[in-house]
A and B are shown apart, each in its own frame.
Chain A
Amino acid sequence: MLNHIWLSFSATNIVFQNVWFVAAIWMALALIASLVSIRTGISVALIEIFIGVVAGNFLHLTASNEWINFLALLGSGVLTFLAGAEIDPLSLKANLRASLLIGVLSFAVPFAVVWLFAQFVLGWPLNRRHRPFDHFRGGCLRSDDRRRFQRHRHGQNDSGRLFHH
């Protein structure tokens, strides 16, 4: 019995430690996404996210390998590049007034309102380390930052939570 469990454990280990097998699993998921997308007519990106949700929650797949993160990083970069390259400069110029006005407000109104909603209604404060324009606030630590700093100096746990749950 124990032997059997050990064998199956090592088989899983062999699969997940072999870069080819891991790549094969990810490509199989991508292939399934393509086929589902072709059958349903839903965008492949959306299906890939769904498959990621299923794989993450039910198959416990993780993006633990450095090379997966690297490929994903290239994915977001090249995708953005292609999105920029899709714009026909001539049609942008021809419809500049309408596109500019609609585009700017389509970004600015949701951005401002959702920011306020997230910060003041949901209570999602901006992260201390990544607060926008932090560098403009000068070198002085705020009083709560000072308290955190002193707690760390005295080896205490940081009980101040960055986010409300």
Chain B
Amino acid sequence: MGKMILAACFITDFGTVLALGGLFANYNIWLLVFVVTMCVVLWFMPAWTKGIINKFGATRVSEPEVKFIFFILFFLGGLATTAKSEAVLPAYLIGLVVAGVFLRDKTLVHRMRSIAFAVFTPFYFIKAGLFVSLPALWPAVAIVGGLLLLKMVTKIVGVWPLARLHYMHHREATYTTLLMATGLTFGTISALFGFQNKIIDQRQYTILVTVVILSAFVPTLFAQKFFQPTKGAMHAWGRRYRQRLGVLSVEDSEDEPKAD
């Protein structure tokens, strides 16, 4: 069930990056160049990454595979921003196509995580917080509350009935809905994109980031405190889901001992 929620979050986030990269882009020749180049790179990326790891993997000190991934990210980011699209769109898709390679080579993903979380992401998140203006927040508390409520209600309307339709009990469906209602990274990325491109002003940015923070915090707290399903219930849902769809999986045989 956890994997299903993660995959659903992926689809939701993909919708966000697609909207961000597509809605505000300039529809000109540069966008065409960007999309075509990205498709070609995405197609060959798993093979190239695997090749570099296999061929030069032993020379760990010079880290060619990390540099290769950064090179592709920067290059496609350059093309994306030239077309006035967003660099996160190619980054997300490259992540997806190399996910299979990363699953086999955990060292590479650990290294990239270390670099990112030690050097890059603190600058990003602290900067995202810097633009939040507390004096602008107090008069807009009602708007923040309204937007938060709207986000929660629309998530419940969008997710809960579908979770029930996919053979989840009340408790698991509520847990799934609450977890799907969070979204700190992509929420702040979207708000910062809007602020830096002067689509929204600082007051609107403050409101949106506050809603994003609250929607990351409140539902997770509720989900874990009141609706956390047991491991057995989650595995039982997996079996139920596959049985109803008539799909057999290797996980079914693995599930049995874990569920007890």
Contacts and interface: CB of A to CB of B under 8 A. Distances in A.
Nearest to B125: A48
B56 interface: no
A74 B69 CA distance: 13
A53 B199 contact: no
B128 interface: yes
B52 interface: no
A85 B102 contact: yes
Q: Is the interface of B mostly helix, strand, loop or mixed?
A: helix
Contact of A52 (B24, B109, B112, B128): B128
Contacts of B241: 95, 98
B15 A72 contact: no
A89 B99 contact: yes
Contacts of B67: none
A63 interface: yes
Interface residues of B, number: 97
Nearest to A30: B122
Interface stretch (B32-40, B57-65, B150-158, B225-233): B150-158
8 A-B pairs closest in CB distance: A52-B129, A84-B95, A103-B11, A75-B124, A107-B15, A30-B122, A109-B158, A48-B125
13 contacts: A33-B125, A52-B129, A56-B131, A56-B132, A75-B123, A82-B109, A84-B94, A92-B10, A95-B8, A103-B8, A103-B14, A130-B197, A132-B23
Interface of A: 26-27, 29-30, 33, 42-46, 48-57, 61-63, 68-69, 71-89, 91-92, 94-111, 113-114, 117, 122, 124, 126-127, 129-130, 132-133, 135-136, 163, 165
